[in-house]
Structure 1
Amino acid sequence: MRYLFEDYALDTDQRELHRASDIVPVAPQVFDLLEYLIRNREQVVSRDDLLNAVWNGRIVSEAALTTRLNAARSAIGDSGEQQRLIKTLPRKGFRFVGPVQEVRRRPAASVQDELAWRTGNGSAVRPTAPRLSIVVLPFANIGAGPEQDYFVDGVTESLTTDLSRIAGSFVIARNTAFTFKGRAVDVKLIGRELNVRYVLEGSVQRGGNRFRLNAQLIDAETGNHLWAERFDKPAADLFDMQDEIVSRLANTLNAELIEVEARRAERSPHPDAMDLYFQGRASINKALTPASIERARNFFARALALDPENIEAAVSAAHLDMALASGHLTDDGILHLDAAESALIRVLSLAPNYPRAHMFLGAVRMQTRRIAEGIAACNQALALDRNLADAHGFIGFGKYLMGRIEEVEAHIQEALRLSPRDTRTFIWFMFAGMARFAAGADLESIAWFRRSLESNRNHPHTHFQLAAALALAGDVMEARSTALAGLAFDPGFTIRRYRVNARSDNPIYLATRERFYAGMRIAGLPEG
Structure 2
Amino acid sequence: MLKSSQPPIVVGDRIVDLARETLRDGRGDVVPLRPRAWAVLRLLATRAGELVDKDEIMDEVWSDCEVTEDSLVQAIGDIRRALGDAGRSALKTVPRRGYMLVVDEKPSGDLVISGNTPRPSAVGEMTAPSTPRLSIMVLPFANIGGDPAQDYFVDGVTESLTTDLSRIAGSFVIARNTAFTFKGKAVNVRQIGRELNVRYVLEGSMQRGGNRFRLNAQLTDAETGSHVWAERFDKPAGDLLDMQDEIVSRLANTLNAELINAEARRAERSPRPDAMDLYFQGRACINKGVTRTFMAQARDFFMRALALDPGNVEAAVAAAQIDVSVGSAFLTDDSSVHFEAAEAALNKVLLHAPNHPRAHMLLGAVQMQSMRASRGIAECRQALLLDPNLADAHGFIGLGKFLLGRGEEVEEHIQEALRLSPRDTRAYLWYMFVGLGKLSISADHEAVDWFRRSIEFNRNHALSHFHFAAALALLGELKEARAAAAAGLVLDPSFTIRRYRTDARVDNPVYLAKRIRFYEGMRLAEVPEG
SS at match of 2:233: strand
Which residue in 2 is equivalent to 1:408? Answer: 410
Matched, 1:7 2:13: yes
Match for 2:318: what amino acid?
Answer: S
Distance across 2 between alignment mates of 1:42 and 1:315: 31
Residue 465 (structure 1) shift: 0.7
Which residue in 2 is equivalent to 1:323? Answer: 325
Matched, 1:478 2:480: yes
Change (3 A) 1:256 1:17: farther
Match of 1:86 among 77, 85, 91: 91
Q: 1:8–1:20: 8 Å Cα contact kept in structure 2?
A: no
Which residue in 2 is equivalent to 1:18? Answer: 25
Which residue in 1 is equivalent to 2:116? Answer: 108
Which residue in 2 is equivalent to 1:38? Answer: 45
Cα shift readout 1:392-416 (whole Å, capped 9, x = no counterpart): 0100111001111111100000000
SS at match of 1:94: strand
Matched, 1:99 2:104: yes
Match of 1:67 among 62, 74, 80: 74
Range with bigger deviation, 88-97 or 300-309: 88-97
Which residue in 1 is equivalent to 2:121? Answer: none
Q: How many residues align?
A: 514
Change (3 A) 1:19 1:55: farther
SS at match of 1:447: helix
Q: 2:12–2:85: 8 Å Cα contact kept in structure 1?
A: no
Match of 2:421 among 419, 422, 436: 419
Change (3 A) 1:337 1:479: same
Distance across 1 between alignment mates of 2:135 and 2:403: 40
Which residue in 2 is equivalent to 1:58? Answer: 65
Q: 1:78–1:86: 8 Å Cα contact kept in structure 2?
A: no
Alignment of 1:229-268 (within 5 A): 229-268=231-270
Alignment of 1:74-223 (within 5 A): 74-76=81-83, 84-89=89-94, 93-102=98-107, 105=113, 108=116, 127-223=129-225
Residue 430 (structure 1) shift: 0.1
Structure 2 unaligned segments of length 5 or more: list them: 1-6, 119-124
Distance across 2 between alignment mates of 1:238 and 1:53: 35
Cα shift readout 1:143-183 (whole Å, capped 9, x = no counterpart): 23322111111101110010001011000011111110110
Which residue in 2 is equivalent to 1:289? Answer: 291
Residue 505 (structure 1) shift: 2.1
Which residue in 1 is equivalent to 2:439? Answer: 437
Q: 2:95–2:352: 8 Å Cα contact kept in structure 1?
A: no
Distance across 2 between alignment mates of 1:432 and 1:100: 63
Change (3 A) 1:429 1:194: same
Distance across 2 between alignment mates of 1:318 and 1:309: 14
Range with bigger deviation, 315-324 or 52-61: 52-61
SS at match of 1:206: strand
Which residue in 2 is equivalent to 1:526? Answer: 528
Distance across 2 between alignment mates of 1:388 and 1:217: 21
Change (3 A) 1:402 1:101: same
Distance across 1 between alignment mates of 2:265 and 2:86: 32
SS at match of 1:84: helix
Residue 485 (structure 1) shift: 1.1
Match for 2:65: what amino acid?
Answer: R
Distance across 1 between alignment mates of 2:507 and 2:24: 56
Alignment of 1:334-345 (within 5 A): 334-345=336-347
Alignment of 1:354-433 (within 5 A): 354-433=356-435
Residue 40 (structure 1) shift: 3.9
SS at match of 2:217: strand
Cα shift readout 1:165-218 (whole Å, capped 9, x = no counterpart): 101100001111111011010101111110100000101111122111111111
What's the RMSD between the two structures over aligned residues? 2.5
Match for 1:84: what amino acid?
Answer: S
Distance across 1 between alignment mates of 2:341 and 2:114: 52
Q: 2:35–2:129: 8 Å Cα contact kept in structure 1?
A: no
Q: 1:51–1:58: 8 Å Cα contact kept in structure 2?
A: no
Match for 2:116: what amino acid?
Answer: A
Distance across 2 between alignment mates of 1:374 and 1:165: 22
Residue 29 (structure 1) shift: 3.9
- TM-score w.r.t. structure 2 length? 0.91
Distance across 1 between alignment mates of 2:112 and 2:152: 52
Match for 2:422: what amino acid?
Answer: P
Match for 1:169: what amino acid?
Answer: S
Residue 497 (structure 1) shift: 1.1
SS at match of 1:203: strand
Distance across 1 between alignment mates of 2:34 and 2:73: 14
Range with bigger deviation, 203-212 or 42-51: 42-51
Q: 2:360–2:379: 8 Å Cα contact kept in structure 1?
A: yes
Range with bigger deviation, 197-206 or 222-231: 222-231
Change (3 A) 1:71 1:500: farther
Residue 338 (structure 1) shift: 0.7
Deviating above 6 A after TM superposition, structure 1's stretches of 4 or more consecutive aligned residues are 19-25, 123-126
Q: 1:14–1:108: 8 Å Cα contact kept in structure 2?
A: no
Q: 1:210–1:233: 8 Å Cα contact kept in structure 2?
A: yes
Change (3 A) 1:306 1:291: same
Residue 35 (structure 1) shift: 3.5
SS at match of 2:228: strand
Match for 1:402: what amino acid?
Answer: L
Which residue in 2 is equivalent to 1:119? Answer: none
Range with bigger deviation, 164-173 or 514-523: 514-523
Q: 1:7–1:20: 8 Å Cα contact kept in structure 2?
A: no
Distance across 1 between alignment mates of 2:323 and 2:292: 11
